Each structure stands twice: as C-alpha cells, then as structure tokens.
Amino acid sequence: MSKLIKKRITYVEQACDEIHGFKKFYDEFQEKIVLSGNSGSTLTNYGRKIAQISLYFGKLPEEVPEKEINHYLASLARKSTNPSLSTFKFMVYGLRYYFRMIGKNDKAIRLPHLKHERKLPVVLNHRECISLFKAGDMIKHRVLLSFIYSAGLRAQEAMRMKISDIDSGRMMIHIRQSKYNKDRYVPLSALMLQGLRRYIQVCKPVDYLFNGHEPGSQMSVRGMQWAMRQAVKKCKLQKRVSLHTLRHSYATHLLEFGMDIVTIKELLGHEKITTTMVYLHVAKPLRSNLFSPFDRLYGKD
C-alpha cells in the first residue's frame, strides 16, 4: 500500500506520480467530465476518491479483486455514522463512474446499493439568522453570510460571484453557469446593497466579490465554510448547520412570507419542482387558526 499522502500534495497528484496508468485515466476522465457538462465538483469528488482507493491498493481499481474492494467499502461504511451522506457515498459513485467509463458495467452494477434517506433540511428561524449575520468579526464574513442567504446561493455560486454580477440599477443579481449549466437572476435586496457598498468601500475586492488571500482571486469554499463555523460558534447556535443551511432558510422563509413554490423553484435554479417541494414540509403553515391540542387541554386559547 502507498505511503500516506504528503503535505500539500493532493491525492490526485500523488496517484498520478505513484500509480501506473492513473495519469492516463485522469486525463481521459477530465475530458469526459467536460464533454458531459457535469460540474467541476463532480470531477473533484469522483477523481479524488478514485485516487484514494488507487493509493490504498497501489494500483488501479480494475486491477483489484472485487472481494478486496468490498472489504474496503465495508470499512468506510463502518467508520461513518451516516454512510449515505459520507465519503462512502462518493467512493461508490466514483467507482461506478470509473467502471462504466472503462467499459466494465458489470462491476459497476455489483457495487453496494445506496439507500437514499429523505431527511428534511435544517432551517434557521429569523432570530437565528439575524444573530448569525452579526456574529462575524470581519465585515467580509458578515456580508458574505448575509449575501448567501439574501440570494439563496450555493457555495460555488458565491465563490464565483463577480462584482459586475451585482446590477444595482435593476436590483438584480446575475448567477452565471451554475448547476445544470444554467444562468439565472434573483432579486437584490435593498438592505443587502447597502451592506455590499460598505463592504466594497472597506475591503476593495477586485473582480470577484469575495477575494481570497490575493486581490483578484476567489475566496475558497473552504474559507467560506470556516467563516460560517466561526459565526455559528460565536452566536452559540445549537442546530447542526452549514453554508447550505442559509439556502434552505432562504427558500423556507420565502414560502412562509407567501411566495409561490414555482417562483421559488426558479429562484433556486432547481431542475425539478419535486426538489423544491421539500420546503412545503419545512415551512411554518400560514393559516392563523392552527394550534396544538396540548394548549387546549389546560384551557389556554
């Protein structure tokens, strides 16, 4: 088995150097991802997992006996508290893609079936949102989290957002080539625009709205996640939340404020209405005559 990955060298880079045939596979893999129109995150996740398993066995997955691959997957599943939403999932999907790509569909079919759990998303209430948006020590982080929520953005969308995508004249935000390679527009909050102007005046970002360490570079998703974790810790939220929780909260709050589900689907950039309909199960009902029978037991109206 290969040595542990060296510091600052990615799994893919190490596999290209150490595993015979991996570089050729990865070059073809990159081409297929681009031609198929799949997202860059797909390439990153699948490619990294194939590199990991190749490094573990010291050879390409096709050269590893099926029994050994199953033992490896079983060990991943045992290490995870929720295998269907873990590295186990991406390893299985990555291997399926890999075997289909090299023409060995029979191996892809025999990989473990993944159970799709239907869990409702975690959503912040209004007070929690306000507390979170105030918690960041830096204006950049406060504006970042507020902006993601205000437009219902995915992390990758926030990372790629450019200053020129903020149209204050039309009060719209242009989200370019997101998931499914689609562009879309979402409304720009007037209050958010004030915060953005103050942030731009203070931090002077170049090109991208949220710069990384160097002017003109993108702030990484990892950096955004760190800002979220710090804010959550500071305002002592008890819910298990992530950056994507802001997008869930955006959709749920729009529904609670009376926006129709079809419009919300378009604002989120969902391909199917069924994806958006999950928020119908999360949103607080709008009817005013709802109550718990527990209160009536004790005479509280």
| Region 10-21 average pLDDT | 91
Q: What is the mean pLDDT of residues 110-124?
A: 76
137 and 266 belong to one structural domain:
yes
196 domain-assigned: yes
Output the pLDDT for position 37.
61
Does residue 289 form part of some domain? no
Residue 5 lies in a domain: no
Please check whether residue 3 lies inside any domain of the structure.
Answer: no
What pLDDT score was predicted for residue 252?
94
Whether 168 and 255 share a structural domain: yes
User: Is 52 in the same domain as 187?
Assistant: no
Q: Which helix (H) or strand (E) holds 56?
A: helix 40-57
- How far apart (Å, rounded) are the C-alpha atoms in residues 155 and 221? 6
Structure tokens, 124: 């912040």
Whether residues 140 and 255 share a domain: the answer is yes
Shared domain check, 53 and 179: no
Q: Are residues 132 and 98 in the same domain?
A: no
Domain stops at, among 109, 138, 155: 109
- Containing structural domain, residue 268: 126-281
Q: Is 262 exposed, middle or buried (0-12, 13-18, 19+ CB in 10 A)?
A: exposed
- Would you place residue 2 in the very low, low, confident or very high pLDDT band (cuts 50, 70, 90)? very low
Co-location of 131 and 274 in the same domain: yes
pLDDT digits (tens, 9 = 90+) for 230-256: 999 999 998 999 999 999 999 999 999
Same domain for 251 and 218: yes
Q: Domain ends where: 59, 80, 109?
A: 109
Q: Is 237 domain-assigned? A: yes
The pLDDT-based confidence of 300 (bands split at 50, 70, 90) is low
What does the pLDDT look like over 51-99, one tens digit per residue?
999 999 999 999 999 889 988 888 887 776 554 456 777 888 889 888 8
pLDDT class of 44 with cuts at 50, 70, 90: confident
In angstroms, the Cα distances linking 235 to 136, 137, 282 are: 9, 12, 23
The pLDDT assigned to 7 comes to 42
- Answer with the one of 109, 140, 166 that is the final residue of a domain: 109
CB atoms < 10 A from the CB of 212, how many? 13
Does 121 reside within a domain?
A: no
Give the span between the Cα atoms of 207 and 230, in whole angstroms: 26
Q: Indicate the number of domains in the chain.
A: 2
* pTM for the full predicted model: 0.66
Q: What is the CA radius of gyration of the chain?
A: 23
CATH number of the domain bearing residue 137: 1.10.443.10
Enzyme catalytic residues: 154, 179, 244, 247, 270, 279
Q: Same structural domain for residues 163 and 134?
A: yes
Residue at 158 is within a domain: yes
Residues 55 and 84 placed together within one structural domain of the fold = yes
19 and 51 both lie in a single domain: yes
**Which among 189, 200, 203, 195 has a CA at the least distance from the CA of 164?**
200
72-107: buried (b, 16+ CB within 10 Å) or exposed (e) per residue? bbeebbeeeeebeeebbbbbbbbbbbbbebeeeeeb
* pLDDT value of position 299: 64
Instruction: For residue 210, name the pLDDT band (cuts at 50, 70, 90).
Output: very high
Q: Is residue 300 domain-resident?
A: no
Measure the CA–CA gap between 158 and 220, rounded to whole angstroms.
Answer: 10
